[in-house]
Amino acid sequence: MVRQHLTDFELMILLAVLRIGDQAYGVPIAREIEETARRSVLLGAIYTALDRLEENGLVTSTYGDPTPARGGRAKRFFKVTGKGLKAVKETQRAFTALWSGIPQLKGGTA
């Protein structure tokens, strides 16, 4: 069964991929999350989540050319699909709806 909403980690990854654009592979995705969300992440966990997102059709991946700096291994670039973008928007809508109407979270006094 495909879940309708994303986990917070999946959402962060999709947003990071969208922010980075064409050069979205493991290292920049991890850096983007660490710098922007201030959350320490494991590259392995990012790839595991991206594999899951790809299986659900939310991202696609393509391989670049192998480089000597990577021991002859290619970079795996990710791109968010239309379905992925829809899932991000839906998750944002759900979070925003949950967020509204909570007095403790108004005026930055959370």
Partner 1 sequence: MNPQNLAFKLLGLLAPGREALAGDLLEQVQKGRSALWLWRQVIGAIVTGCIRDVREDRIGALKVVAIGWATMLGFFFIAGDFLAHSGDQTVPRLLSYLGAHHAGVLWLERLRYVPATVIGCVLSGWIVGRPVLFYAASVCVALAVAATAIAWYAAPVSVPHTLFYVVMLALPYWWWSGLLIVPLLIVVGGLWRVASSEPLGTKGTLW
| Nearest distance from C-beta of residue 55 to partner 1, angstroms | 10
Tell which residue, 58, 13, 60, has the closest CA to residue 32. Answer: 13
Close Cβ partners of 77 (under 8 Å, ≥ 6 residues apart): 22, 23, 24, 25, 61, 62, 63, 64
* Minimum distance of partner 1 from residue 93's CB (angstroms): 28
Residues 43-72, interacting with partner 1 (CB under 8 A):
43-45, 47-48, 51-52, 63, 66-67, 69-71
3 in contact with partner 1 (CB under 8 A): no
> Interface mask (CB under 8 A) for partner 1, residues 11-40, using x and -?
--------------xxx-------------
Pick from 1, 2, 42, 110: which binds partner 1 (CB under 8 A)?
42
Nearest-angstrom CA–CA distance, 44 and 41: 9
* Cβ count near 8 (within 10 Å): 11
Render 5-37 in DSSP notation, one character per residue: S--HHHHHHHHHHHHHGGG-SHHHHHHHIIIII
The number of residues that bind partner 1 (CB under 8 A) is: 21
Q: Could you list the residues that contact partner 1 (CB under 8 A)?
A: 25-27, 42-45, 47-48, 51-52, 63, 66-67, 69-71, 73-76
